[in-house]
Amino acid sequence: MQLNKLTIAQAREQLDKKEISSQHLTQACLKQIEKHNSQLKACLTVSSDLAMSQAKEADKRLKMGETGPLLGIPYLAKDNLLTKDIKTTAGSKMLENYIAPYSATVVDKLEKAGAVLLGKTNLDEFAHGSSTENSYFGPSINPWDTNRVPGGSSGGSASAVASDMCLFALGSDTGGSIRQPASFCGITGLKPSYGRVSRFGLIAMTSSTDVIGPLTKSALDAEMVFSVISGKDEKDSTSYDNLHSSREFVSDISKVSKIGWVKEHEKDLSPEVKEALLKTRKKLESLGATFIDISLPNIKYAVPVYYIITPAEVSSNLARFDGLRFGFSKSEASNLKDYYLQTRGEGFGPEAKRRIMLGTYVLSAGYFDAYYLQAQRVRENIISDFDKVFSEVDLILTPSATGPAFRFGEKTNPLDMYIEDKFLAGPSLAGLPSISLPTETVKDLPFGFQLVGSKSGEDMILKVAKSFQENTNYHLEKPSLP
């Protein structure tokens, strides 16, 4: 097997046995990037020299007998994560040439753990989107079908993992931006609980739902990355260490006996998606799980609530990008008003502008109570619904997307794109952990299902995810690349 096609777990075993080196592993990934990135446009920046330097250092640590989950493992980071001395563009003209003076906490943690940073991946501008079509630098491509999107906003990371450019990639998930591209590209994507991973150094989109997580080739790999990047960070007041649940976490899926089947979702499933989900349910039942019909009466409001709260926070978070402190600058403007208009008008793309305007509107006098405050009240009801359900079940099963990857230009209406978050926005609003795993194909394309856990319930969803993949081969299927 080519080294870049290894999983983290496979590479870990071979590195520890001194059968391969981190430098050879890194070279294999860089070669794959060089071969396919011009077509897939998964990476915006490739840091070859840094990667080889870090790989050489990792080999020294390995030679001295050191080990660790990610020591010597090459990865890519989504380009809204700050990386010291390497460009961080957020997929926007506004930050086209921005070089961060420090790295995000997760990047620092990975560096200390000996992981090897290969470069930065493409994304929808400032993570605003579900297809990576909103990137200023052009869209990433789905390696399963080059006429289709890889999903978004972490589409570059998903495309890179699916095409074996790296052993894992980091993404960010605000309302589905790890899980949906994982589904579209046939890989595993973990969204941790809100606060389990530090957001320090992540260019903020929606601060109350933003989460950093891994896109990987397996659930075991996701667990290995999560073990390194999670934990409390003094630089992020919302972060925390594992809150040990009173639940007994066991490896036997039959003892994680109750999985919720959401009645409200049934009417939203296409025949093909419903068939794939029912086959997934049957497989989980064969492994010992039992299913219980559950009700989330307010889940139908998740997308409307998300797209009121998100633009409101976006308009606030993007206010700092004015061309004065940093970012794209329109220096020939004759006065301050024109300067702002030209700088922000040219620096931001259409979707960023749309969300800024929507957010400013719902936060304005006369509309704050009617829209934003009301949305926050409904959000509390959604959280309450999840709390009640998790007193009855251990996990919840849903699709990861409304269907398989769609074609470029197919969803030109913003509302059609927003509906992509139908099954994903609820867990994000509630701050719950969830994972997308490959399952039965839909229309001969990769498709994923989502397992949602209770707050801090990553251990449980990972154990069930690993059990499912130990007994299926969906995650082993690969796209055919030229």
User: Are residues 225 and 8 in contact, defined by beta-carbon separation less than 8 angstroms?
Assistant: yes
Residue 304 lies in a domain: no
Residue 184 lies in a domain: yes
Write out pLDDT tens, residues 349-394: 999 999 999 999 999 998 999 999 999 999 999 999 999 999 999 9
Kindly give the pairing relationship between strand 290-294 and strand 434-438: unpaired
Q: Residue 118 sits in a domain of what CATH number?
A: 3.90.1300.10
d(CA 1, CA 164): 12
Residue 348 lies in a domain: no
Residue 384 lies in a domain: no
Query: Structure tokens of 39?
Result: 């077509």
Q: Is the dihedral of CA 291, 294, 300, 301 positive or negative?
A: negative
Predicted local distance difference test score (pLDDT) of residue 1: 78
How many domains is the chain built from? 1
Average pLDDT (265-294) is: 95
Q: What is the pTM of this model?
A: 0.96
Residue 26 lies in a domain: yes
DSSP letter assigned to residue 376: H
β partners of residue 261: 293, 397
What range does the domain containing 113 cover? 3-251
Residue 439 lies in a domain: no
For residue 291, the SS3 value is strand
Predicted local distance difference test score (pLDDT) of residue 330: 75
Average pLDDT (220-227) is: 97
Write out pLDDT tens, residues 342-353: 999 999 999 999
β partners of residue 437: 449
Q: Does residue 397 register a pLDDT over 80?
A: yes
Write out pLDDT tens, residues 409-451: 999 899 899 999 999 999 999 999 999 999 999 999 999 999 9
Average pLDDT (450-461) is: 95
Write out pLDDT tens, residues 76-86: 999 999 999 99
Predicted local distance difference test score (pLDDT) of residue 334: 85
Active-site residues, by number, are 78, 153, 177
Residue 205 lies in a domain: yes
Residue 401 CB burial class (10 angstroms; 0-12, 13-18, ≥19): buried
Query: How many C-beta atoms surround the C-beta of residue 479 within 10 A?
Result: 17
d(CA 191, CA 209): 11
Average pLDDT (173-184) is: 98
User: Are residues 397 and 296 in contact, defined by beta-carbon separation less than 8 angstroms?
Assistant: no
Average pLDDT, the chain: 95
Residue 94 lies in a domain: yes
Closest CA to 143 of 28, 41, 40: 40
